[in-house]
Structure 1
Amino acid sequence: MERRYFELSARLEGRVPPEVEKVRAQLERAASTAPVVDDFLPPELRVPSHDRLDGRMMPWKQPLVLNGEMVACAECGAYRDWLILSTRDQIWLRCRAGHQQHETRLDTAWYNRNSGPADATHATFEDCLRHLGH
């Protein structure tokens, strides 16, 4: 039984059923007759890729708790209404008063998990701050 299986397998190796050839021919015909269309968005609707941005930021209204400890601004003591900035694989926190501190307990992966889709891009840091109400 095993010998017959191997003989049959050897005879069929490399052969393709005729139905497969028909389907391939139909696909090739369809591809050759289909018009070539630019499927990219127009330039004004494209979002820059992450490597073309200096950074990203998102608002974080509620208190930020890391490892069971509530994060507070080192200068003014604010503990809510943060802007979380992700730039050059670092996370920075900015309080409403404009103080910034590097947060080593957070990383880009955390930022990506917790941020929503970007709703705008801005030419300057100040434009982004205004957009987010800071």
Structure 2
Amino acid sequence: MFGRNRERRERLEAQQRWEAWSAAHVEPPLEPDHQAPGSVPVVDDFLPPDLRLPTREELAGMLMAHDSPLVLDGEVRACSDCGAYRKWIVASTNDGVWLRCPAGHQQVEPRLDAAWFNTISGPITAQHASYEACLRFLGH
């Protein structure tokens, strides 16, 4: 019986301390030159324009260099025209994933898709105005 009375008294004292503290810590009203919390100004994207990725309409495709042999389904992929099997340029476009050998032969690879490309490729390090400029950048 005495334990319940003590608990009730302690709860009442704690509630009174809380009410006294919260009454002492009331925030002053906003001055007229301050904005209300609900009207936060809208700002532009936080990234500067040179760090933003291009939109789908601006991006024709992505290329990456793949210097080592490309193994698909347990076999080394070789160019059907010249037999080259390394130093590929891999291009991911809306048409699929394309392979370009060092001799310049290009062919679509149906066993590869955009998910594979995104897994293998690293971050975008440069943007180029043309396909040829990107090939020069990658060393082809």
Q: TM-score, normalising length from structure 1?
A: 0.70
Where do residues 51-130 of structure 1 align in structure 2 (5 Å cutoff)?
51-130=57-136
Amino acid at match of 2:85: Y
Amino acid at match of 2:126: A
Q: Please give the alpha-carbon distance, in whole angstroms, between the structure 2 residues aligned to 1:31 and 1:121.
A: 41
Amino acid at match of 2:72: L
Structure having the larger proportion of residues in helix: 1
Q: Please give the alpha-carbon distance, in whole angstroms, between the structure 2 residues aligned to 1:53 and 1:39.
A: 19
Unaligned runs of 5+ in 2: 1-26, 28-34
Q: TM-score, normalising length from structure 2?
A: 0.67
Amino acid at match of 1:79: Y
Displacement of 1:47 in angstroms is: 2.4
For these two proteins, the number of residue pairs brought into alignment is 108
Displacement of 1:46 in angstroms is: 2.6
Unaligned runs of 5+ in 1: 1-25
Amino acid at match of 1:67: D
Q: Once superposed, what is the RMSD of the aligned Cα atoms?
A: 2.5
Paired residue secondary structure (1:127): helix
Higher-Rg structure is 2
Q: Please give the alpha-carbon distance, in whole angstroms, between the structure 2 residues aligned to 1:61 and 1:114.
A: 12
- The match for 2:52 among 46, 53, 57 is 46
Amino acid at match of 2:106: Q
Deviates more, 1:73-82 or 1:44-53: 44-53
Q: Please give the alpha-carbon distance, in whole angstroms, between the structure 1 residues aligned to 2:76 and 2:36.
A: 61
Q: Percent identity?
A: 58
